[in-house]
Each structure stands twice: as C-alpha cells, then as structure tokens.
Amino acid sequence: MRGLMMDYPLTITHILDRARRLFRDKPVLTRTASGMHRYTYGDLYRRVCRLANALTALGVCDGERVGSFAWNTYRHLELYLGIPSSGRVLHTLNIRLFPEQIGFIVNHAEDALIFVDDSLVPALEALAPQLKCVRGYVVMGDGPLPKTSLAPLYRYEDLLAAASEDYDLPRLDENNAAGMCYTSGTTGNPKGVAYSHRALTLQSLAQCSADAFGLCESDVVMSVVPMFQANAWGLPYTATLVGATQIYPGAQPTPQDICELVQEHKISVTAGVPTVLLGMLGALEQKSYDLSSLRCVPCGGSAVPESLLARFDQLGIRVVQAWGMTETSPLATLSKPRSSMVSWSAEQQRLVRAKQGMSMPFVEMRIVGDDGKELPQDGKSVGELQVRGPWIVAEYYNDPRSAAAFQDGWFKTGDIATIDPDGYLQITDRAKDVIKSGGEWISSVELENAIIGHPQVLEAAVIGLPHERWQERPLACVVPRPGQQVSRAEILKFLADKVAKWWLPEDVVFVESIPKTSVGKIAKRDLREQFKDYHWPSEKA
C-alpha cells in the first residue's frame, strides 16, 4: 500500500517563502568598508524577487548556471536564494583557485552570467578572455561601475532597481539542481558537484537537529566559511530556514574582525576551518574579546587537533568537529560525546571529540579494504571511507571520472579511516597522503595533531618521503610560534609517549610557513615538491 501523503517538494523556494511569511523583521547584517549594512528579511525577500525578474530580463533560462565570484555579504545571500528559487542554478566560484582552474570551471559548467563583487573585478578581468559561454558580468557594490574590460557589464543595483518586486515563486522539482560547486582539484581538473534542492534542504533540516547544531530562530549566525566553499557549509540556507539573525563578515575578514563581530553582535553560532579558529586564538592573545555568546562552533575541513578543542574549552567555547566534503553537501558527520560518556573526564571526552564523529541521520558509512570488501567497525581496521545518503553526490557533472568514484552505490571518499564500535569515524589520512613505512601505514594527520599540541609550535605538517629501507618515512615540517624556539629533539621527545615508536618522524625540519590550498588546508603536494631533493640525516652521513 502506498502512503497517502502530499507530494510536497523540498526546495530552496520554501526556505525563502517561509522567511517572508514568518521572519520579515529579522535582521541581516554585513560588514562593509563603510560600517555595518543592515536590513531585514523583508528587504531581502523583496530584493530576491527583483533579482529573479532581472534574471528573466537578461534571458537566463530555467536550469542555466549563474556564477558568483564574491565574498560573504547580503548580496551573495540574495544570489543564494534568488537564483535557485527561480529555477536557475547558483554556481559559486572559488576566488582563490588558480586562474586556469576558474576558467576551466566556468567553461565546464557553462555559466551564463557571473555576479562579481566590485573589489574582485580585476581578478576576473584577467580570466575573461577564456570564458567562452559568459553572456554578461554583473558588478555588485555601492559605487558606480568600475572601469573594466569585462563586457557586457551590468550594475547589480541598477538591475534590481529596474526590475519589478512582483514575483510568484515557481513550484520546482526537488530533484532539480539548485547549486553547483567544484572540488578544489588537488589532482587533475576540478570535478563538478550539482546539488539538488532536496539535498540542500535535507542538509539544512539535519543541521537544525539538537544533536547537530540545533540551529534555531533565537540564534545569531555568522558564516565565516566562505560562501564560495561548499555553500558555506549550508549555514546561509539553514539560518534563513529557521529565521536566525544573520551576520556576514564581508571581504577578507581578519581574525580580529571575526572576534569583534562575535563580541559586538553576540553571535551564538559560527563555523570555520581549524586555521580560522587558530587565528581567533592568536587574536585573543593580542587583545581580550568577550566571545561568551558562542554556544556552538562547528569546525572541519581538516582534522581538528585536540589541543585546539582544549584551548577553546578553557574559554568556555564549545567547538564541535564535523567531517564532510564538497561531494557531501558538505556535512556528513559530527563529533559529540554521547550520554554514556558524560561521566568521563574532559580529556577523555576530548579524545572522542577529536574524532570526526557519528554519521548524521540518513547518512551511512562503511570502511572498505583494498580488496573492495567491507571491514569491521572495530576502531582498528583501516580502509577507505565510503558514504551514501540523500545529500551525497551520485555522479560528477559531465565527467567520465564518475565511473571510478563509486562502488555498488557508495561514494568512495578517498579518505582513509577507522570506525569504532560506537560508530565514531576517525580519519587517518587522505589516500594520497598516507605514509607507508615498512608495509604499515602511519597517519600523518595523527602526527600533525600531536605535534601541534606542543606549546612552542604554531603549525605542523607531516609528509611521507621515500626511504631506502622503509619505503617511506615521515618528515615533520614545523613552524615555531613567533619569537619562540624549539628543537628537533624536543619535538621527538614530546611525541615519544603519544605515538608508536616507529611512527616518530625520521626528521623534523623548521620552516617559516606551511603552504595552503585554496580552501586553507595543508598543501601536501606542494610540500612534497618543496622537499623532493631532501635527504634523511642517515643518508647524509
């Protein structure tokens, strides 16, 4: 027997319409060069309707891709809502990718228009000759149109001013694409992920559950995660769905800006990669900020070291680790200790929180060995993590590499991990970063997390380099804290009781900085390249 329920589509359109009906007076604030821009959800809704009409006037068809090249602002939020709610597809372009990669992405997605922040016009200009499909550029800003070779050129505010505010939201198919995002392409060209309305709305609903972020109307939410990175982890959609007060940090926020915004606006939820949170800790060392309003700080994108959790715990701020990928919309797991662990010491609980956590409702995960067979979830068996669920990619957009990315309906993440009997995931490495020493695997992530716990260490990265006897051995690259000194021997001594003896780095080198990818992760490929001529101390002798 079939269920007799309405076939109501799960779409971004509903998120927008709900905001209009219930939260018209709630504020959206953006940090700008001339102070805070402030308006309400009501204003947001009216401008989104104008945007939808402007897209029609510019001849953008249903299902066509519209690119954004922009920071986190209210205008970008308007694109987040207006482009998908009117049946088009928002393609957020990562402004930090290499120009050739951005060119590839725009051409591959066949973006019809690109909406660009005025401050980013020069960056886009350099690329424009490569962009075959783009029919126009829309500049977002308060001033007049800049002098530029981009053409044809439109001013966002003029387009909105000329468009009507009357717009009937269409009823869309929940399986149509709402957004697109490309992976950062650490190997080969970036791969396109097309998010359906259904995937994004379900992701947002899941984020509202109490065991996730418990996002609600009374929250003050700031998306620090760039809106050009995996939909700012979905926070703009979730915040709009529940009617939270929203704060956007604008162009190039520094750690001080972030701390000031939290203090000034009593922000309760903000999310960021570990590098951003480390930056906030650095800012706190210079000046005191009252960050006590923060009740939940999701952190992920790369492993969250236990020492980072501990330092925020000392401030009374709860950092919650999450794991995900561009391909998983992006959140798939969250690490919170469960009720049976509340009697444990803070240290023991932190060990759990330093894992990537339990899968969110409706996400399934398994670990698979080299032979393609599922491994036991015993916390010891190490294999590739595979996931499936309603917000996990089913295939890459127009990409023959899709064939190799799936096994029996499961998405192969390329992450190497264990799952313990309680169901907590622990990522040990990305497959391409694993260090194979004497036939065994060493987790570079675990070594990095341990080294970063040393009080004199600012940053650390561990890579595997060829070794005559052991095939590969770990090299630790360490950035000491400013004005501090630490020696190789001290690092090795510090690690001695934290990792197995054969895991100890073969050598420790001190560097000024660690190269980062466009999304702020350690660029291990660049680091391996940097040390390709390196010789182990034993070989030098």
Which residues form the catalytic set?
183, 327, 436, 441
Burial class (CB in 10 A: 0-12, 13-18, 19+), 526: middle
User: Three-class SS of residue 525?
Assistant: helix
Q: Which of 51, 393, 427, 452 binds ligand ADP (CB under 6 A)?
A: 427
Gap between the Cα atoms of 79 and 175, Å rounded: 20
Gap between the Cα atoms of 399 and 407, Å rounded: 16
The yes or no reply on residue 300 touching ligand ADP (CB under 6 A) is: yes
Is 106 or 427 the residue whose CB approaches ligand ADP more closely?
427
End-to-end CA distance of the chain: 77
Q: Which of 16, 200, 230, 476 binds ligand ADP (CB under 6 A)?
A: 230
Report the residue closest to ligand ADP, judged by CB: 184
HSE, side-chain direction, 13 A CA sphere, residue 347: 0
The yes or no reply on residue 486 touching ligand ADP (CB under 6 A) is: no
The yes or no reply on residue 452 touching ligand ADP (CB under 6 A) is: no
Q: Which of 223, 240, 302, 386 binds ligand ADP (CB under 6 A)?
A: 302
C-alpha of 446 from chain center: 21
The yes or no reply on residue 448 touching ligand ADP (CB under 6 A) is: no
Q: Which of 140, 303, 457, 477 binds ligand ADP (CB under 6 A)?
A: 303
Crossing angle for the helix pair 235-242 and 12-22, to the nearest 10 degrees: 40
Contact 433, 463 (CB under 8 A): yes
Is 86 or 321 the residue whose CB approaches ligand ADP more closely?
321
Gap between the Cα atoms of 215 and 239, Å rounded: 7
Is 223 or 321 the residue whose CB approaches ligand ADP more closely?
321
The yes or no reply on residue 269 touching ligand ADP (CB under 6 A) is: no
Gap between the Cα atoms of 386 and 393, Å rounded: 12
Bond from prior residue into 482 cis (ω within 30 degrees of 0): no
Write each residue from 119 to 158 as x if it is in contact with ligand ADP (CB under 6 A), else as -, in one continuous string. Answer: ----------------------------------------
- Please state the closest distance from residue 389 (CB atom) to ligand ADP, in A: 15
Q: Quick one: which of 384, 371, 372 has its CA closest to 419?
A: 384
Q: Which of 30, 85, 94, 321 binds ligand ADP (CB under 6 A)?
A: 321
Contact 72, 226 (CB under 8 A): yes
Q: What is the DSSP string of 115-126?
A: EEEGGGHHHHHT
The position carrying tokens 């799936």 is: 406
Token pair listed for 521 = 């992760």
Q: What are phi and psi of 149, to 5 degrees?
A: -85, -5
Q: Which of 270, 413, 428, 443 binds ligand ADP (CB under 6 A)?
A: 413
- Please state the closest distance from residue 500 (CB atom) to ligand ADP, in A: 20
- Please state the closest distance from residue 297 (CB atom) to ligand ADP, in A: 13
- Please state the closest distance from residue 97 (CB atom) to ligand ADP, in A: 10
**Amino acid letter, residue 234:** G
Angle (nearest 5°) at CA 480 between 478 and 482? 150
Write each residue from 164 to 203 as x if it is in contact with ligand ADP (CB under 6 A), else as -, in one continuous string. Answer: -------------------xx-x-----------------
Gap between the Cα atoms of 311 and 277, Å rounded: 10
Contact 377, 419 (CB under 8 A): yes
The yes or no reply on residue 227 touching ligand ADP (CB under 6 A) is: no
The yes or no reply on residue 86 touching ligand ADP (CB under 6 A) is: no
Contact 503, 473 (CB under 8 A): no
Write each residue from 515 to 534 as x if it is in contact with ligand ADP (CB under 6 A), else as -, in one continuous string. Answer: ----x---------------
Is 253 or 520 the residue whose CB approaches ligand ADP more closely?
520
The yes or no reply on residue 267 touching ligand ADP (CB under 6 A) is: no
The yes or no reply on residue 44 touching ligand ADP (CB under 6 A) is: no
The yes or no reply on residue 325 touching ligand ADP (CB under 6 A) is: yes
Q: Which of 415, 459, 472, 506 binds ligand ADP (CB under 6 A)?
A: 415
The yes or no reply on residue 326 touching ligand ADP (CB under 6 A) is: yes
Residues whose CB is less than 8 angstroms from the CB of residue 44 and which lie 6 or more positions away in sequence, other chains included: 19, 28, 74, 77, 78, 81
- Please state the closest distance from residue 339 (CB atom) to ligand ADP, in A: 23
Torsion of CA 506, 368, 330, 350, to 10 degrees: -60
The yes or no reply on residue 231 touching ligand ADP (CB under 6 A) is: no
- Please state the closest distance from residue 183 (CB atom) to ligand ADP, in A: 4
The yes or no reply on residue 426 touching ligand ADP (CB under 6 A) is: no
The yes or no reply on residue 332 touching ligand ADP (CB under 6 A) is: no
- Residue numbers at the binding site for ligand ADP (CB under 6 A): 183-184, 186, 230, 300-304, 321, 323-326, 356, 413, 415, 427, 430, 519
